[in-house]
Amino acid sequence: MKKLNIYFTAGIPQLEDTTEIIKLIQDSGADMMEIGMPYSDPVADGPVIQQAHELALKNGMTIAKLFSQLKSIKNEIRIPVILMGYINPVLSFGFENFCRECSESGVSGLIIPDLPPIEFEKNYKEILKKYRLNFTFLVTPETSDERILYLDSLSSGFLYAVSSSSTTGKENAVLKNEDYLTKLATLSLKNPVMIGFGIRSKQDFENVTEKADGGIIGTAFVDILLQNKDWRKNAIDFLNSIQG
């Protein structure tokens, strides 16, 4: 079975909705989830997720608040929870302190796209190991084979394969990029490959997972949380449509 990973931004539509959305994703049958930590300058994200970050910050979401919410439902969550965000807020929180809180909140891994691999190896790898946290790096169609193997060697949990070099949420980002997907499938990687950026439907999910281990859906799901007053029903319907 191909793995389904759902991303959403913590603190939307309302500050206290985070725990309900986590349970909803788990109940839908998703295999794992990524929770975005809101940041004022989310450079890798497209307009929808940028809007989500803005709303979440306006709602009062902070890293400390997110940890408090996660701890409140820690014993109810059975699928892996990964935190995704940018390095500055994590460093402001204190890297080791952040990892300790992750461990105590039931978080299993991190994705920090703007943390350079060299910095990771030098300063942070051992701290993550100490708190038993996975760390996932991103690769793109432009990443060389040599660098893909290097980033795979540093990653644990899975390798995040961005379907295009654009920001998140681009229309048609997930076309069958045969050469790229074939390359990833034929390299001797130690981690499962999850494809992300631009998956909006069951068809997209099936296309990208023909040669990959799973897919990540973010923008399409966040859009539902932002746009719909009846977001609970629409979110459930959307998740069911991917799995159905």
Residue 14: is it exposed, middle or buried by C-beta count within 10 angstroms (0-12/13-18/19+)? middle
**The two three-digit tokens of residue 66, written as one number:** 């997110």
Residue 156 lies in a domain: no
Q: Note if 34 is an active site residue.
A: yes
Lowest-pLDDT range of 19-23, 48-52, 90-94: 48-52
Residue 192 lies in a domain: no
pLDDT bracket for residue 228 (50, 70, 90): low
| pLDDT more than 70, % of the chain | 93
Catalytic residue among 17, 45, 213, 223: 45
Is a pLDDT exceeding 50 seen at residue 169?
Answer: no
Catalytic residue among 34, 101, 204, 223: 34
Mean pLDDT of the chain: 91
Average pLDDT over residues 100-123: 97
Domain hosting residue 35, numbered range: 3-136+199-243
113: domain CATH number is 3.20.20.70
Q: Note if 17 is an active site residue.
A: no
Counted domains in the chain:
1
- Residue pLDDT, tens place only, 128-164: 999 999 999 999 999 999 999 999 999 999 999 987 6
What is the C-alpha to C-alpha distance for residues 233 and 134, in angstroms, rounded to an integer? 32
Which residue has 């490959």 as its token pair?
193
